[in-house]
Amino acid sequence: MRFSLRRRTSRGMTAPTRVGRVDLIGGGPGPADLMTVRAHRLLAEADVVVADRLGPADEVRAGLAPHVLVVDVGKRPGHHPVPQAQINALLVDHARAGRRVVRLKGGDPFVLGRGGEEVLACQAAGIPVTVTPGVSSAISVPQAAGIPVTHRGVASGLHVVNGQGPFGDSALASLADPSVTTVVLMGVAALPRLVCEALAHGVGADRPVAIVENGHTAHQRTLRSTLGSVVAEAEVARVTNPAVIVVGDVARAGLLLPTAAHFAESSA
């Protein structure tokens, strides 16, 4: 039963009132079998699924019951058809109508996913809300290409940057620190700006860079380069989103065995 409160009727009797709720779940990097058991359970209980473009949206949609309403709110670079305020309102309105709402997000809801804003919107409206973590693409996509974001004796720290925003002092400091791996999400369009600012900040042109496109899919490919060459090589390779950019010594070829090719094949 999904009835947890009771309301009084005009005759003084009580009747069940269905209480809606919102569950934010991390869909991980793409394959549905990389989602948590809890995430799958919540999807099985959902009346409405509000889904992002990235993550396992298509695979999840195929497994939903016929009555489940799926609302696509996916964003693409430079194209946000459903503004965040409208997404927040969708979650609240469906929950107020007594529905179990799952907000299916790529990666982890709290890693550059605006999940915190959605939690605050639900709390302000008095809607019960929970968050189920997911595997962030900042870690899992490099891993799919055989790149550990930290590695003993190579990198002991990780700095995650939003490529759609400005590169502040902390980002530039991480790029210059040989013990730190810098991972840039949503950064393909910003790559020339990133390289220009990093070089101007004194980061060496020989700093290893890797770009992993379509991680954990059959279309995954990895470009390995250096800071001084990556812009030209990415243009020749026609690198596109979705892609994760890794800057640091962990990105150099041959760091791990088995080889990067093995990792890519095993993730497809």
Our answer to whether residue 35 is catalytic in this structure is no
Q: CA-to-CA distance for 146 and 124, rounded, in angstroms? A: 43
Choice among 23, 47, 52, 108 that is catalytic: 52
Contact 128/19 with Cβ under 8 angstroms?
A: yes
Using alpha carbons only, give the angle 117, 118, 119 rounded to the nearest 5 degrees.
Answer: 90
Query: How does DSSP assign 34-70, residue by residue?
Result: GS-HHHHHHHHT-SEEEE-SSSSHHHHHHTS-TT-EE
Our answer to whether residue 186 is catalytic in this structure is yes
Radius of gyration of the chain (CA): 21
Choice among 75, 93, 177, 249 that is catalytic: 75
Choice among 23, 35, 105, 186 that is catalytic: 186
Q: CA-to-CA distance for 174 and 183, rounded, in angstroms? A: 10
Our answer to whether residue 1 is catalytic in this structure is no
Q: CA-to-CA distance for 122 and 28, rounded, in angstroms? A: 23
Residues forming the active site: 52, 75, 186
